[in-house]
Structure 1
Amino acid sequence: MNDPLILIPGLMSDARLFGQQIVDLSRGRAVTVALPHPGNTIEEISGHILAAAPARFALAGLGLGAHVALDVMRRDLGRVSKVAFLSADPLGETPDAAAVREKRMILARTGRLVQAMAEELPPRALANLPGREDIMALVEDMALALGEEVFTAQSRALQRRRDQQKTLRRAAMPALVLAGAQDGLVPVRRQSFMAELMPSARVQVIENAGHLLPLEQPEAVSRALQMFFDGPLILR
């Protein structure tokens, strides 16, 4: 039996982000979704996940979820058997980006959460495909379900996040970096750099996908994750 898999969604997302992957990956392992809250820091969120996690497990996280996965690894590397990062950036937030994020938090606190999310995840972040409007509608629905307080807490956590390059360099477990070819928020080049930092990582680019590749190309993402998590613990 494969190790249990913990999926960590991104900013203002719930289990629906990984809907197809939950169905597909559950055939060979126990799959749980750990929402990245409560907590105003990545460390608080990762602490909650570690406290509830089994002794040994695999991880997959997208965006904010990838930052949380990295911090889980920083805190207890030996418990993570494999890890997959989607739309991930290992670097800390720049002062300019933090200032822009502060303005979005003000929008959310003054009743304009939909506008804040539209600025946080504009259509250009996704591939220009026929289903993009439906995905954007789901993004809005997930955000409204979670609410302004969660948006503020998760945004604050992203502002304060660590640079995790040291964590990546000492992480020897098999790792997969999945990048959308048309990701308008985290360039493929930066995600490839992330893979280069890890001793046993590889990058896979999903065509016709942007920042939310599990929703944009669900079958391709499920196949990639299935092959990775079903594969050997030692990469040759």
Structure 2
Amino acid sequence: MFPAALRPWPVVGPGIREFRPFRVSPAHMEAALPMLLLPGLLCDRALWQGLRPGLEEYAEVETLPSWECNQSLPQLADRLLNRLPDRFLLVGFSFGGYLALEMACRAPQRLGGLALLSTRAGPDRAEERRQRETWLHQARGEDFEDIVEAMLPRFLHPRHLKREELRESLRSMLLRNGFQTFLQQQKAMLLRRDWRPHLDRIQAPALVLCGQQDQVTPPDCSRAMASALTGAECHILPECGHFSPMERPRTVLARVQAWLWRCLR
């Protein structure tokens, strides 16, 4: 782990921060690839607190800070691809999974591995699209706390919703990333493409994972992605909602570590 990761990255464009040089530990110098963690809607580095220390034992890990998505996903993907090394690993959660899929489909030959956590390759359902359009056209800043509060039961398994520390940690993270970021990310999700016809282009080792009780990206989404990705492993976690990295961090870490070793072979 390197201290530079804890400092703000210099901004080089709208909502994107410059990557500091990756440094790989000597023990894994020849095999390791840099790993980029892509957070979800209104998420930041706090999402990965339960995973990052365990991943840094095997790879050079960087986390993309929460970004204001005032560009399309293709534009964001191109900007990141221009700043990444020639080969890399991607771990995307939820909205970060959409960005990971866009990057993977645009540059499959550069991908050393792809982990998709609680996300989907297909478009929104009709009711989800209507909800995003309603937020974009009718929501106001003073509504933001109520919007976040209403999302929590959809984000967490009922058992984990009762865990006060987890619930408040998630709520605080969502709120601190702000209403404007929320709107910009909703717009980016509305405009995203359907990646399903392009999944067969991705030949790198893939991991697909979600919670059994995920209401946002249900298990069928993960199973469908895994069946379309060459040699992908799919894991459905019991007693887990949408926020798998925060609800079941040890289990998610174990699955991601196992995938990482597949990537290093």
The TM-score normalised by the length of structure 1 is 0.91
Equivalences for residues 178-189 of structure 1 within 5 A? 178-189=209-220
2:85 to 50, 54, 59: 54
1:230 to 2:265 alignment:
no
The 8 Å contact of residues 57 and 80 in structure 1, kept in 2 or not, is answered as yes
Mapped partners of 1:149, 1:230: distance in 2:
39
> Per-residue deviation at 1:124?
3.9
The residue aligned with 1:127 is 157
For 2:217 and 2:106, locate their aligned partners in 1 and report how far apart those are by CA, in whole Å.
25
- 1:3-25 residue CA offsets vs partner (Å, 9 max, x unmatched): 11101011000011111111110
Q: Match of 1:32, SS?
A: strand
Deviation at 1:38, TM superposition (A): 3.4
- On the 8 A contact 2:88/2:110 being kept in 1, the answer is yes
Q: Which moved more, 1:14-23 or 1:48-57?
A: 48-57
Give the distance between the partners of 1:24 and 1:194, measured in 2 at CA: 26
1:44 aligns with 2:83: no
Greater radius of gyration (CA): 2
Residue 34 of structure 1 corresponds to: 64
Tell me what 2:190 maps to. Answer: 159
How much is the aligned-residue C-alpha RMSD, in angstroms? Answer: 1.9
Higher mean displacement: 96-105 or 11-20: 96-105
Q: Taking structure 1 as reference, are residues 55 and 232 closer, same or farther at Cα in structure 2, changes over 3 Å only?
A: closer
Query: Tell me, what secondary structure is at the counterpart of 1:45?
Result: helix
Cα distance in structure 2, aligned partners of 1:42 and 1:36: 14
How many percent identity over aligned positions?
27
Amino acid at match of 1:77: P
Give 1:33 shift: 0.8
Other structure's SS at 2:90 match: strand
Q: Is the 8 A contact 1:62 1:87 kept in 2?
A: yes
Distance 1:232 1:143, change over 3 A: closer
Give 5+ residue unaligned stretches, structure 1. Answer: none
Residue in 1 aligned with 2:25?
none
Report if aligned partners of 1:179, 1:205 keep a CA contact under 8 Å in 2: yes
2:121 is the counterpart of 1:90: yes
TM-score by length of 2: 0.81
- 1:95-114 to structure 2, matched below 5 A, reads 95-106=126-137, 108-114=139-145
